Amino acid sequence: MLRRLYDWVMGLAASRHAPLGLFAVSFAESSFFPIPPDVMLAPMVLTRPDRAWRYAAICTLGSVLGGCLGYAIGFFLKPVGVWMMTVTGHAGGMDEFKCWYDHYGVWVILAKGLTPIPYKLVTIASGLAAFSFPMFIIASTITRSARFFLVAWVVKKFGPAMMPVIEKRLALFAGILVALLVIGLAASHFLGGSSGGACAA
């Protein structure tokens, strides 16, 4: 089933409805759809590199608005949010996410929004944890635009030769961000004290 969805997304990327499809996939991926919009964004930028930034902006807008739906599911429909986390293999993930939010706040969204972790888990968990909605919007805009504009830039500048290493570059960028986060948290712990135990990795 996942393969058929992937093939459908790739076919949509080559159609005349590609920009609308990109928005729809970006929106859906932030709350329930399993295929990330990167797989559609990359071939669209390869086809029309002059529209790279427009496509990245469409991706970002769709993802942030879709994230609002994910947040609403967690906040207003808690049983549905918990069920969605369960069926995606994160039955006990809520306690871990809540611990991360309690300790690290907005950095959870900034760091996890750049990594391969499905962003829908972050949006739903943010709603379940009743995280500040304005901060959620700001962090989502920062982290999703960073991801999609990075993909668009890599594909636009280096073309097909760089396609196999796009995810590696994203992982490296996210790793640097997380490393800075850990250093900052460690400094905060030693300088200002710490409350509560450490969260699971």
What is the tens place of the pLDDT at every residue in 118-128? 788 889 989 98
Query: Quick count: other Cβ atoms within 10 Å of Cβ 110?
Result: 21
Number of domains in the chain: 1
151 within some domain: yes
At 170 the pLDDT is 55
Amino acid at 138: I
105 within some domain: yes
At 191 the pLDDT is 38
68 Cβ neighbours under 8 A, 6+ residues apart: 123, 137
Using one digit for the tens of pLDDT, what is the confidence trace for 62-115? 999 999 999 999 999 989 988 887 776 566 556 766 777 777 677 777 766 655
Give, in degrees to the nearest 5, the angle at Cα 101 between 96 and 103.
95
CA distances from 46 to 57, 62, 158 (A): 16, 20, 10
57 Cβ neighbours under 8 A, 6+ residues apart: 145
200 within some domain: no
198 within some domain: no
At 1 the pLDDT is 58
Instruction: Give CA–CA dist 142/146, Å, rounded.
Output: 6
Q: Specify whether the CB–CB gap between 122 and 199 falls below 8 A.
A: no
For the chain, the first-to-last Cα distance in angstroms comes to: 30
At 12 the pLDDT is 80
79 within some domain: yes
Measuring CA to CA, which residue among 45, 39, 68 is closest to residue 152?
45
Domain region containing 80: 2-192
